[in-house]
């Protein structure tokens, strides 16, 4: 007989209302993203944009995000996390609408990049600060793993459903549908009024924090997020070349996500009961290996197994990594919102620099290596090397 008590120990039991609201909103947001994020670079590639041009799109976006990110934090501190989140999710909808028009009006390529920048600066500082502020004591790992699994579950349905929609109706219907979903994601966080005290947030101190000696090791660790750019942009284009049928492609990604979900819940329990850094180091090595193996992928079966292997490694390291990050955000005082936002912005800035570093190296590889397939393989090696930096946290 199935021991439900055993599985219930994997779940958090003291989730606050603010976190529950964030759960529901994030699940809805990720359902939209599950349907469209994978197809974002594939869409640009299929309408004629080269890999170099696609990479330059994100280069402009992340440079602008890096410069203006503290302004997003200032807004969240002045008007509240939930107001900032609501604007950020609404901008997601406008981004995909503008992206659709790129094929008809090329200047929308730059409009879309601007909107994506605004979306990031309104959404991510507020998201992480909100979660770090209200996450439960002694069960951070389980709350984060539950969030990871809950959002992963929609990635089981999303890619396959999106592949079907694209095959039958085209990208226009897909982008319109996810835009509605993004607007709907604001309902859970706006049902109840947020209680907060407006506070000042320093723009320039955010940049000074990047160069403090005591933050150096953490900064280097967060540079590992450069591999995430390869996951979100380069890997989808690569496997779209191997698997040309869009429905089959979405199905492969969906099945790979299904396999990893239960393991992630168990990792949350381990993170709360064991040394977080040991789990992070082991999962980083495991995940790094998945990048090095990708250089041998040449068919749909290989894509499925490597995507499964990779998602398992990513989810496993994300739980202790995020737990450690949120723990340190509250290390001075659990009630110090200023400190939480300062640490969150440092985290976001560091990972953006990691992505910018990856973008520059990828751009150089694509420019100097004539063979696109060889360039892909070198990029995968780069991602594997950057993944090992997570061990420094």
d(CA 40, CA 56): 14
Q: CB neighbours of 169 closer than 8 A, spacing ≥ 6?
A: none
Which segment of 25-34, 192-201, 271-280 scores lowest on mean pLDDT? Answer: 271-280
Give the pair of three-digit tokens for residue 158.
């999303």
> Is the model more confident about 358 or about 21?
358
Tens digits of per-residue pLDDT, 146-167? Answer: 777 777 777 777 777 888 898 8
HSE (side-chain half, CA atoms, 13 Å) at 140: 23
Helices 300-329, 140-169: axis angle to 10 degrees equals 140
Residue 368 CB neighbours (<10 A): 8
Mind listing the pLDDT tens digit for each residue in 334-368? 444 457 888 889 999 999 999 999 999 998 888 88
Both tokens assigned to 317: 């390291």
CA angle at 265 for the pair 259 and 269, rounded to the nearest 5°:
145
Domains of the chain: residue spans and CATH: 16-186+213-392 (1.20.1250.20)
Q: Could you give phi then psi for residue 362, rounded to 5 degrees? A: -65, -40
Q: How many CB atoms lie within 10 A of CB 255?
A: 15
Q: Cα separation of 239 and 76, whole Å?
A: 38
- Cβ-contact 393, 221 below 8 angstroms: yes
pLDDT grade for 102, boundaries at 50, 70 and 90: very high
Cα(384)–Cα(42) distance, integer angstroms: 22
Rounded-to-integer distance, Cα 109 and Cα 117, Å: 13
pLDDT reported for residue 57? 92
């Amino acid at each position: 007989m199935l021991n439900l008590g055993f599985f219930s120990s994997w779940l958090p039991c003291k989730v606050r209302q603010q976190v529950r609201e964030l759960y529901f909103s994030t699940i809805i947001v990720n359902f939209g993203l599950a349907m469209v994020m994978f197809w974002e670079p594939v869409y640009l590639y299929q309408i004629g944009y080269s890999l170099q041009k696609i990479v330059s799109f994100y280069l402009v976006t992340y440079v602008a995000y890096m410069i203006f990110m503290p302004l997003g934090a200032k807004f969240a501190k002045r008007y509240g996390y939930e107001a900032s989140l609501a604007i950020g999710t609404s901008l997601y909808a406008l981004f995909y609408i503008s992206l659709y028009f790129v094929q008809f009006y090329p200047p929308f390529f730059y409009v879309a990049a601007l909107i994506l920048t605004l979306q990031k600066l309104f959404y991510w500082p507020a998201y992480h600060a909100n979660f770090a502020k209200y996450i439960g004591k002694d069960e951070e790992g389980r709350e984060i793993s539950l969030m990871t699994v809950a959002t992963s579950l929609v990635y089981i349905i999303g890619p396959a459903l999106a592949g079907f929609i694209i095959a039958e109706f085209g990208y226009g219907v897909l982008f319109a549908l996810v835009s509605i979903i993004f607007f709907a994601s604001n309902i859970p966080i706006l049902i109840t009024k947020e209680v907060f005290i407006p506070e000042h947030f320093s723009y320039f101190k955010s940049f000074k924090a990047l160069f403090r000696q005591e933050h150096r090791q953490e900064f280097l660790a967060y540079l590992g997020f450069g591999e995430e750019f390869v996951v979100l942009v380069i890997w989808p284009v690569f496997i779209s070349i191997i698997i040309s049928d869009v429905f089959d492609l979405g199905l492969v990604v969906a099945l790979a996500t299904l396999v990893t979900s239960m393991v992630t819940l168990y990792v949350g329990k381990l993170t709360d009961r064991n040394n977080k850094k040991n789990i992070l180091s082991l999962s980083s090595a495991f995940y790094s290996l998945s990048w090095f193996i990708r250089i041998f992928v040449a068919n749909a079966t290989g894509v499925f197994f490597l995507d499964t292997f990779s998602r398992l490694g990513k989810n496993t390291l994300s739980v202790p990594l995020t737990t450690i990050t949120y723990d340190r955000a509250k290390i001075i005082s659990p009630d110090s919102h200023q400190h939480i936002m300062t640490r969150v912005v440092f985290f976001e800035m560091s990972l953006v620099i990691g992505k910018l570093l990856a973008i520059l190296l990828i751009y150089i590889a694509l420019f100097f290596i004539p063979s696109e397939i060889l360039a892909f393989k070198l990029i995968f090696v780069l991602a594997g090397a950057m993944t090992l930096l997570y061990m420094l946290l």
